[in-house]
Amino acid sequence: MITAKMSLADIVKQYPQTIPYLNNLHLDYCCGGHMPLDESFTDGSIDLTSLINELNNIASQPVPQNKESVESIEDFEKLSVNEMLDNLEATHHVTEREMMEQIEKLLNKILIVHYQHHGAELTKIHNLFARMKAELEEHFAKEERLIFPLMRSNHHPDKETLELISELEGEHVDVGDMIKEMQELTNNFQVPADTCVTYANTFKLMKDFVEDIFVHVFKENSITFPEYAEQ
Ligand SMILES: [Fe+2]
Ligand SMILES: [Fe+2]
């Protein structure tokens, strides 16, 4: 049962089938997402009662719409910390690196083709994506080469490793902020009417990429890192 005392991260941990609904509402369950609902939405932007009702409704449905990602999170939770780290590297790190290469090329292409009518917004999107890609590549390298190896070898977390993990969490917040900026710039990846198939494909791929990042960061922040710290 979902209540106002739970955070979005708690909700997704217990009911991963709520992810598509939260994505549609652009609610951050991964990079921020750690405050109880009744403390997060104090500005009245969200009707808390209907949000909780709808989440409970989705949580009670027998077959989730996102069956695959639900299973991926449920299976992930059963792994040991070392297996989780291997899994993160073999799945999200690989897929997201490939997606970033493709998006970079596509963005450059639509920037040139649609410069005349959409140059202003595409320049900003192209630039922000380049910064996001650089940050993420450095973040993945830091995880793979420095912090995950330390976590694998120090089964009893020491102060230094825990401090490095909180650096990673800080970087996740930065990525979350860039994603929000990207959602605003692209009007949540809505394709302008006067454009082309490549434009639509680029935005679709960017949306898929962002959703993959959300699951990836959620697994690290809300499953792997707490599990490691408790060892
Ligand atoms: Fe990662
Ligand atoms: Fe990370």
Which residues line ion ligand 1, judged by CB < 5 Å?
A: 143
- What lies within 8 Å, CB to CB, of 147 at 6+ separation is 161, 164, 165, 168
Task: Specify the pLDDT at position 201.
Answer: 97
Task: Specify the pLDDT at position 46.
Answer: 86
Query: Does pLDDT of 94 surpass 80?
Result: yes
Mean pLDDT of the residues in the chain: 94
SS3 state of residue 7: strand
Give the number of the ligand closest to the Cα of residue 88.
1
CA of 139 to the centre of ligand 2 (A): 6
CA of 157 to the centre of ligand 2 (A): 18
Task: Specify the pLDDT at position 31.
Answer: 80
CA of 220 to the centre of ligand 2 (A): 6
CA of 215 to the centre of ligand 1 (A): 10
Mean of the pLDDT values across residues 199-224? 97
CA 111 to chain centre: 25
- What lies within 8 Å, CB to CB, of 127 at 6+ separation is none
Counting residues of the chain whose pLDDT is more than 70, the rounded percentage is 100
Tell me: the pLDDT tens digits for 111-139? 999 999 999 999 999 999 999 999 999 99
The kind and range of the H/E element at 222 are none
Mean of the pLDDT values across residues 184-194? 95
Task: Specify the pLDDT at position 186.
Answer: 97
Query: Does pLDDT of 204 surpass 80?
Result: yes
CA of 110 to the centre of ligand 2 (A): 29
CA 124 to chain centre: 21
Query: Does pLDDT of 44 surpass 90?
Result: no
Task: Specify the pLDDT at position 45.
Answer: 83
